[in-house]
Structure 1
Amino acid sequence: MLGLAHLDRPFDYLVDQAMDTEAQPGTRVRVRFAGRLVDGFLLERLAESDHGGKLAWLERVVSPEQVLTPELVELARAVAERYAGTMPDVLRLAVPPRHARVEKAEPAAAPETVLAEPDPSGWNAYDGGAEFLAALREGMHPRVAWQARPGEDVAVRLAELAVSVAATGRGVVIVVPDQRDLDRLEHECAALLGDWCVTLAAGLGPTARYRRWLRVLRGTARVVIGTRSAVFAPVHRLGLTVVFDDGDTSLDEPRSPYPHPREVAVLRAHQTASALVIGGFARSAEAQALVESGWARNLVAARAVVRADMPRVEGISDDDRRIAGDPLARSARIPNIAFDAARRALTQDRPVLFSVPRRGYLPSVACGRCRENARCRACHGPLQMNERGDLACRWCGRPENRFVCPQCGGTVVRALMVGDKRTAEELGRAFVGVPVLTSAGDKIVDDIPSGARVVVATPGAAPHAEGGYGAAVLLDTWAQLDRQDLRAGEEAVRAWMSVATLVRPHSDGGRVVIVADSALLPVQALVRWDPVGFAAHELGLRRELAFPPAVTMASVDGPPAAVAAFVGMLDLPPGVQQLGPVPLPPGVRAPAGLDTTQDLERVLLRVAREDGRRLAAALRAAQVVRHARHEDTAGIRVQVDPPTIG
């Protein structure tokens, strides 16, 4: 397992007769390479080698457990080629570290539980839902982009899919973004699947994770649910892979070669001829591209069903008499229309949710005189203010005891962004006698009981309310829409819909007020509850402007000299367009091991989608050259289809 690109190939070794029984394909081994012992996997046994030189001997078999299956080898190679990475880097994501005690323990017996067929009526609300479920039971491999209807109990629907496939003796992998989603899904799967289901997540700890992973490898568990890396789980006879909420940034892999679970699932479904579901309340442009290419089909509810399930959504419109009669509605952070919706819900003894984009008190401040953003003197990060009025850097934590604006010399700051704590403080004064709680950061509330209360939460941290919220108010939407990011609108719609789906249907009085101009396309997507139409529009714009996923784009990040040296090594195929170098976009983390205060640059390489593999091959070839020559390109990051391109 050598991480260098020029060593990413199989090496031949002699196997001693004493190791013949244990040295089987897929086992972990130790070999001597360049004078030192290294770990590796035995890929294949051959009668003879085509290597012309002298072969070394295999040092030892670490474990007779065949952890690297042929399917996993094929998948790892495909992922490495897709993302211009190395197979060892992919295998570090796919195969957890060994724990000897776990391997030596008595293997768990396969459950004797007979899986009962679930009630399929929940899928009847979707056009073709019953036929989709029947196809899974018959062993077919449909590929769909599932648009969950408002208020859908996603955990229940996913558990029903898992049971339908597992009952036929095939395996299932379900990937969700975070631990909260995983906990709900685990609860539903435990009731229907029992010991046939295991959970794989980093929070389990290495020993428990490896124990469960071995259960999957040994075939005593058919269903795997988990976060990012669970998409590689070695289930037997894979029948279905699900990636839910694929637009969530929690699914962006931070480790090389940065594979997205959605793309890994697509590769795996193609290789194994298995079913695939990419689902969510919103839809990513990548999922829409799969539908428009004909590779996947839509699985959506009829418009009449969506309208019946969704809450009433209201934006800020000049045509609304209530807005026209309130001259401050467009400038107020919380206009009267939002207060009216909240008061009505509280009067009905129902909770109200206020969604804010940032946690903290005042997470962003500016000079009170010239309005220049207040920056840290040490790292130039944004300054924030806590409840006591103290300033500190949001990046490095350095306190700012005496602020002086470098532009005008001002010493007073004003708020640019209001966080959840300040919002809760303001709402506490507005709704006297009503409990106010916050859910954000490391203090996330999972569930709240019914009853009148005000909840202030950041995106992804809103607790589930028993019976649903009576109303929800989406604040500071400009902070989500004004970001200089290709996915700003897409991510805003996804965040808003995840909030709106927690609200009761409009027939039960549920209301959502979005404090934004209702004429904006992302706002209209929420008002009409049309994520498919918005995704199609986004994809059309990206085709016109030649942005992912309409094209393949790769980024090369790092110090200017290193980036220039690496780009100079590239033997690019015809049609590749180079953009940059430009400063690394704000919000993009620096490559590992580099000082964030130094100047960093980015070069983008763009090519037609059908030539994406050729671009990845060129990038990988340059990686091989730079590692083999020990060129001065250390600290660069090469990423195919980066999540943020500025």
Structure 2
Amino acid sequence: MQSVKPLRLKRESYRSKSATATNIFVKVWVDSGLSHLDGTYSYRIPNQFKEIISIGSRIKVPFNSRSCEALVIELLETQESIEHLKIIESVLGDTPVTTPAMLDFYALMAQYWASDPYSLIKSGIPSRVAAVEKKIELTIKSDSQKNLFNRKKTQKTYLMHNPHKSAHADILDLALTRLKSGSTLLLLPDTKDVDRIMDLVSESNLSNLVLRLDSALPRAQRYENYLKSIIADNALIVGNRNALFAPVKNLDSIIVAFEKSEQYFERKHPFWNVRDSVLLRAQAENVNVYFTGYVPSSMMADLIEKRTVDFVSQKISLKTSTYPQVHGELLPDRIFPNIRKALLEGTVLFLVPRKGYGNALLCAKCKNTSVCECGGRHILTSATANPLCSLCSLEQKNWKCQWCESTTRYVSARGIDRFHEEIGRAFPNTPIQISSAPNILSDIADKTKIVIATAGAVPNRTQDYSAVVLLEGQRFLSASTSVYEELVYEHFFEAASHVSRKGSILIVLDSFHPLVASLTRWNPSTLIKKILRENLEAFLPPYSSIAVITSEPSEALSLRSGFTKSIKDGRLPTESKVFLIEGEKAATSRIVLSVPVEQRKILATFLLELSRRRAISKKSSISIALDPYTLLS
């Protein structure tokens, strides 16, 4: 019996320890690179890391026989044994890189965009710079991780920009107003917009901290500004699309400037866009949202119609005149006196449809379009240049028509360089500047009398043109999709906003077109309602939610059949529509799957599960874009 006593004492001691000990472990998202392994995983914390790991910490963990980065999303306690869990390998810095509120937002985004969380985290959290963390780690660790306000009611507003005043100045005024209530996140389409806002901020003598977050910053500076956004009080954060993921402390408002911009759409997995994502964050964190622009997108217009978003504009009247083209001439005869008069009073802005010289080459004799052997259309870079193929860039020397063998060329689809030539001949000895991508002017020279710009390239520092001439209005409006039609309206209103108070808008278009009355009254409602009616009839957004699935051509037919069967089986809404788009000799095929917008969550869940199952069965990968910018890009 003497030999039993030590055994009983050990057992009693073990039971006592298990009854009182608390074991701490973490749940993480792992950057595995595999879409079907997007769940949460649990790991033990070694003793040396227990004091430095917190929610939002970046760590290294063993995963699937390799070492992977992970993000801590939960710290949990248990009295049960956790010996079966793997151990964290290392901690990537003592500083947490996001907040609990943002982790909830990442989870919401992953569900909404049918994605894994880490693909979004890579968009939102900048690359680590250890030297930066050493400067501010202690401040962040002692600060609160929550950003939520207890507001009873928040605002969702669309502000329409007005003529005669800089849109960027309008945007900054709004941001400064919102700063009085708390930190403000200002999102802008591109770096040039950020530069413009930062210039205005420097002129305003703003006392609040202003943090810039965009790709133009050096890697270390961007990471430092990102971390500072967690702890800064009443700060203005200015950035591009990815700045949406900044974990801003005491966030009061998010401003999305020029909400219709194509730059707000991510063109690679997970294909998210700013407009929908901002509304998700506003809902999750209970913050105010402001959108700005000249003409609301159809999605925004639908929210305005439903009174989900308030529309704010001023009653303004502009002086407009129309000059229809009779024989395809660039400048109708009746427009010349008004342009000459405007040139005596100041600078005239011409808005043209496209850049380049000649975007199509025709035979002057038989009027057939010249094409390359590959099927691409020939273009001209100057009046004397040899034709170039728009697809393969092959230069065609000693050109002659392949139909009638004539060597006389006719330039169609004129670009800005051709407009420059023709306008220069029409108004000789007049200083002219052109603005077109990639050489977009921010300002113009004092002696300049004529500015020729393509859509979206109007110099934004000049607000007092004596006249704004909108050339080839009908060609502008011959858009292939409603998305581009919306953009044309935006560009027209944006160009018209630069006219002086006594200036006029000269439009080369028929007077009965609704665009003319909309510009005159500075009210785009007629134009937007037209697009909404057409989209309703065509079952397009905002009345449907659309997914574009890109796959190998060999998989396309089976995928389409699977979608059709899922509709019949009730796994997708019965109103769903499926289309297969196949191009000749295309490397990929696309399937367009649309459902009523009210059923979007069902579509997202279905596509996420489809992606997981294909990954598990090791089938070829597919690309899933939910509500992309266009269906054809």
Using the size of structure 2 for normalisation, the TM-score is 0.86
Extract unaligned runs of 5+ from structure 1.
111-135, 318-327, 585-595
Q: Give distance in 2, aligned partners of 1:416 and 1:75.
A: 50
Contact 2:132 2:220 in 1 (8 A): yes
Contact 1:316 1:516 in 2 (8 A): yes
Letter in 2 for 1:56: K
Q: Give distance in 1, aligned partners of 2:199 and 2:391.
A: 37
Q: How does 1:518-529 map to 2 (within 5 A)?
A: 518-529=511-522
Q: Give distance in 2, aligned partners of 1:10 and 1:410.
A: 69
1:344-372 Cα distance to aligned partner (Å, 9 max, x none): 11112x11111112112113324445544
Structure-1 residue corresponding to 2:545: 552
Q: Give distance in 2, aligned partners of 1:404 and 1:55.
A: 75
Contact 1:445 1:463 in 2 (8 A): yes
- Secondary structure of the residue aligned to 1:180 is helix
Is 2:77 the counterpart of 1:47? Answer: yes
Q: Tell me by how many angstroms 1:395 deviates.
A: 4.3
Which of 269, 273, 284 aligns to 1:256? It is 269
1:41-70 Cα distance to aligned partner (Å, 9 max, x none): 111112249999942211111112111211
Structure-2 residue corresponding to 1:24: 54
Q: Give distance in 2, aligned partners of 1:441 and 1:644.
A: 21
Q: Tell me by how many angstroms 1:522 deviates.
A: 3.8
Contact 2:462 2:498 in 1 (8 A): no
1:159-193 Cα distance to aligned partner (Å, 9 max, x none): 2332233233x221111222332222222333253
Letter in 2 for 1:616: A
Distance 1:89 1:50, change over 3 A: farther
Which of 609, 615, 619 aligns to 1:631? It is 619
Is 2:579 the counterpart of 1:583? Answer: no
1:604-638 Cα distance to aligned partner (Å, 9 max, x none): 11111111111111111101111111113x3x321
- Secondary structure of the residue aligned to 2:232 is coil
Structure-2 residue corresponding to 1:601: 589
Structure-1 residue corresponding to 2:193: 181
Contact 1:173 1:225 in 2 (8 A): yes
Is 2:629 the counterpart of 1:643? Answer: yes
Q: How does 1:5-16 map to 2 (within 5 A)?
A: 5-16=35-46
1:319-348 Cα distance to aligned partner (Å, 9 max, x none): xxxxxxxxx645312112333332111112
Letter in 2 for 1:614: I
Which of 386, 400, 404 aligns to 1:390? It is 386
Q: Tell me by how many angstroms 1:206 deviates.
A: 2.2
Q: How does 1:26-175 map to 2 (within 5 A)?
A: 26-48=56-78, 54-105=84-135, 141-168=154-181, 170-175=182-187
Contact 2:166 2:461 in 1 (8 A): no
Distance 1:532 1:278, change over 3 A: farther
Contact 1:316 1:330 in 2 (8 A): no
Contact 2:463 2:500 in 1 (8 A): yes
Letter in 2 for 1:232: F
Is 2:347 the counterpart of 1:351? Answer: yes
Q: Tell me by how many angstroms 1:413 deviates.
A: 4.3
Q: Tell me by how many angstroms 1:79 deviates.
A: 1.8
Contact 1:247 1:283 in 2 (8 A): yes
Distance 1:347 1:5, change over 3 A: same
- Secondary structure of the residue aligned to 2:243 is helix
Q: Tell me by how many angstroms 1:18 deviates.
A: 0.9
CA RMSD in angstroms, aligned pairs only: 2.8
Q: Tell me by how many angstroms 1:240 deviates.
A: 0.6
Distance 1:377 1:220, change over 3 A: farther
Distance 1:147 1:7, change over 3 A: same
Distance 1:371 1:59, change over 3 A: farther
Q: Give distance in 2, aligned partners of 1:366 and 1:221.
A: 60
Q: How does 1:184-223 map to 2 (within 5 A)?
A: 184-190=196-202, 191-194=204-207, 196-219=209-232, 222-223=235-236
Contact 1:32 1:58 in 2 (8 A): yes
Contact 1:372 1:407 in 2 (8 A): yes
Which of 472, 477, 480 aligns to 2:473? It is 477
Larger Rg: 2
Q: Tell me by how many angstroms 1:26 deviates.
A: 0.4
- Secondary structure of the residue aligned to 1:43 is strand
Contact 1:357 1:458 in 2 (8 A): yes
Q: Give distance in 1, aligned partners of 2:361 and 2:89.
A: 61
Q: Give distance in 2, aligned partners of 1:450 and 1:275.
A: 41
- Secondary structure of the residue aligned to 1:156 is helix
Structure-2 residue corresponding to 1:268: 281
Q: Give distance in 2, aligned partners of 1:227 and 1:371.
A: 46
Q: Tell me by how many angstroms 1:524 deviates.
A: 4.0
Q: Tell me by how many angstroms 1:34 deviates.
A: 1.3
Letter in 1 for 2:619: E
Distance 1:606 1:407, change over 3 A: farther
Identity %: 24
Is 2:533 the counterpart of 1:540? Answer: yes
Q: Give distance in 2, aligned partners of 1:645 and 1:159.
A: 34
Distance 1:267 1:562, change over 3 A: same
Q: What is the aligned residue count?
A: 585
Distance 1:396 1:290, change over 3 A: same
1:237-266 Cα distance to aligned partner (Å, 9 max, x none): 211111121112222221211111111111
Q: Give distance in 2, aligned partners of 1:610 and 1:50.
A: 44
Q: Give distance in 2, aligned partners of 1:583 and 1:523.
A: 39
Which of 353, 361, 364 aligns to 2:360? It is 364
- Secondary structure of the residue aligned to 2:509 is strand
Distance 1:393 1:200, change over 3 A: farther
Q: Give distance in 2, aligned partners of 1:413 and 1:573.
A: 54
Contact 1:15 1:57 in 2 (8 A): yes
- Secondary structure of the residue aligned to 1:151 is coil
Q: Tell me by how many angstroms 1:481 deviates.
A: 1.8
Structure-2 residue corresponding to 1:132: none
Contact 1:12 1:49 in 2 (8 A): no
Q: Tell me by how many angstroms 1:566 deviates.
A: 3.8
